């Protein structure tokens, strides 16, 4: 496991070492420092093979759908907001990760888009220019240990 701030030369060195040991490499990325050289190595030329609904990026001029962005119902979202204001644990999960197993059966694994609403699509999985590599995007609601509402 490496961080996105790892120099590109180190990525290349690690790839060579791992190739002789049947190893795997994971490089984490959080956009704190922007588009680093290591991120460029993976993302330039990558093709999106799975995308998802970006409920926070509406294209219809309406408000973002924060509840669905967290995988919650409207009632659950109100409970999470109320609990945050009251500084108490919510009575429901703070978010629900995308059901990636639904992808295997042709489903989206995400909440249904309300009728009349439209949103941007954002990558979930990209195939890198090097077919031995992939980029997997973990959205905020995919982290069950975080607090994506805040």
Q: How far is CA 136 from CA 36, 77, 114, 126, 128, in A?
A: 17, 26, 26, 7, 10
Spatial distance between the Cα atoms of 42 and 126, rounded to a whole number of angstroms: 9
Alpha-carbon span 139 to 126, nearest angstrom: 14
Query: Is 0.85 surpassed by the pTM of this model?
Result: no
Give the domain ranges of the chain. Answer: 1-44, 46-150
- CA 129 to chain centroid, in Å, comes to 20
Q: What does each C-alpha distance from 4 to 27, 48, 130, 145 come to in angstroms?
A: 6, 20, 18, 21
- Per-residue pLDDT in tens (0 to 9) along the chain, 150 residues: 777 677 878 888 888 888 888 888 888 887 777 887 888 888 999 999 999 999 999 999 999 999 999 999 999 999 999 999 999 999 999 999 999 999 999 999 999 999 999 999 999 999 999 998 999 998 888 877 767 666
């Amino acid at each position: 496991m490496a961080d996105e701030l790892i120099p590109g030369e180190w990525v290349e060195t690690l790839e060579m070492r791992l190739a002789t040991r049947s190893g795997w490499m994971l490089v984490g990325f959080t956009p704190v420092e922007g588009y680093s050289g290591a991120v460029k190595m993976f993302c330039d030329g990558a093709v999106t093979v799975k995308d998802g609904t970006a409920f926070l990026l509406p294209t219809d001029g309406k408000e973002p759908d924060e509840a669905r962005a967290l995988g919650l119902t409207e009632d659950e979202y109100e409970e999470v907001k109320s609990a945050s204001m009251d500084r108490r644990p919510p009575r429901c999960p703070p978010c629900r990760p995308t059901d990636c197993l639904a992808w295997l059966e042709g489903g989206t694994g995400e909440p249904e888009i309300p009728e009349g609403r439209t949103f941007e699509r954002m990558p979930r999985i990209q195939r890198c220019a090097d077919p031995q590599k992939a980029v997997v995007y973990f959205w905020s609601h995919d982290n069950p240990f975080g607090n994506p509402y805040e």
